[in-house]
Amino acid sequence: MQKRKLGNSGLEVSAIGLGCMGLSFGYGPAVEKQEGIALIRSAVEHGVTFFDTAEVYGPYTNEELVGEALVPFGGQVAIATKFGFKLDPRTGQQLGLDSRPEHIKEVADASLKRLKIDAIDLFYQHRVDPEVPIEDVAGAVKDLIRAGKVKHFGLSEAGVQTIRRAHAVQPVAALQSEYSLWWREPEQEVLPTLEQLGIGLVPFSPLGKGFLTGAISETTTFDKHDFRNIVPRFSPEARKANQAIVDVVRDLAAEKGVTPAQIALAWLLARKPWIVPIPGTTKLHRLEENVGAAAVTLTPDDLGNIERAVSKVPVQGARYPEHLQKLVGR
């Protein structure tokens, strides 16, 4: 698989990474541990060198899974994890945000143990904490980088002013945010800012939380623990309206002899050379399909056709329920 550099940071990773959250959290029951380990190790065999996790996925269990799976590949892969939530020490339940410098340093030490590594390759602030100046957050990560515990600093779902202020204290290697054919808001302000500052973009949910694969219709039902049950964009009415975007992707996929998921990922790769999507999956055949997208080339004509067709389809439904929407774009 081709490699890409995340902005000017020097952090070089596979063109497509693996989002590991869904193995433990968010989309229904966690997979069996050995099954999760096997999937992550298969990803390495298929050329993936970039793995994304966070302390809140589980909580904690996803980092433990990723750590155990990647022990044999020390030095060959890059692991990204995140800080920024306050968790109940007994239950692990989220109790709000906490990006105080002392807390960031505690989380780093705990994550290093769970991940079984000496340094975190990319340490993201999971959500911007309005109670803590971003300069203090960047300063805390700068201290961790000086101490050799962290290699690169990242932000997740941050707004452009926050990105600029953080970057002035400690260069930001990557911003992680949702970005796909059905969530294109980052193109307005975020992408131009990242390009100007030399920061990479790591799109999560690059397949629209599965919608762009074509495998979800208005009648699909989700597991009771599945996050999509509370997402307005996944209401049956919204799914019906948004099917028009999937049809565009599906038509081009049929023309090219590839899958809709591969078109959606290839579209992201064609946007900028510093974009590295991290699709997640629990299934080996989906992993192979996603990795295969790195070999799909979209011509300028293909991209123009997608642009014209998609611009005619107004996407229905918010991407987060209101209480979660408040945490993004700060």
Residues 6+ apart with CB under 8 A from 134: 128, 162, 165, 166, 169
Cα–Cα distance for residue pair 243/259, rounded to 1 Å? 16
Q: Is 27 in the active site?
A: no
Q: How many residues does the chain have?
A: 330
Taken in order 213, 41, 155, 274, is the CA torsion positive or negative? negative
| Phi/psi at 125 (5° precision) | -80, 120
CB 51 within 8 A of CB 77: yes
Give dist(CA 213, CA 67) in Å, integer: 29
Q: Helix (H, G, I), strand (E, B), or coil: what is residue 5?
A: strand
Average pLDDT over residues 227-239: 96
Query: What share of the chain has pLDDT > 90, as a percent?
Result: 98
pLDDT digits (tens, 9 = 90+) for 42-62: 999 999 999 999 999 999 999
Q: In the prediction, which pLDDT does 69 show?
A: 98
**Band of residue 90 on the pLDDT scale cut at 50, 70, 90:** confident
For the stretch 173-197, pLDDT in tens is: 999 999 999 999 999 999 999 999 9
Q: How confident is the model at residue 121 (pLDDT cuts 50, 70, 90)?
A: very high
- Segment 266-292 shows an average pLDDT of 98
pLDDT for the residue numbered 160: 98
* Rg over CA atoms, the chain: 19
Instruction: Read off the pLDDT of residues 291-316 as tens digits, 9 standing for 90 and up.
Output: 999 999 999 999 999 999 999 999 99
Asked if the model's pLDDT at residue 165 lies above 90, the reply is yes
Give Cα separations from 309 to 205, 276, 298, 312 (angstroms): 21, 24, 15, 6
CA distance 211 to 42: 24
φ, ψ at 97 (rounded to 5°): -95, 150
Considering the domain 3-325, what is its CATH architecture? Answer: Alpha-Beta Barrel (3.20)
Q: Which of 27, 57, 124, 179 is catalytic?
A: 57
Average pLDDT taken over every residue of the chain: 97
Residue-level pLDDT at 172: 98
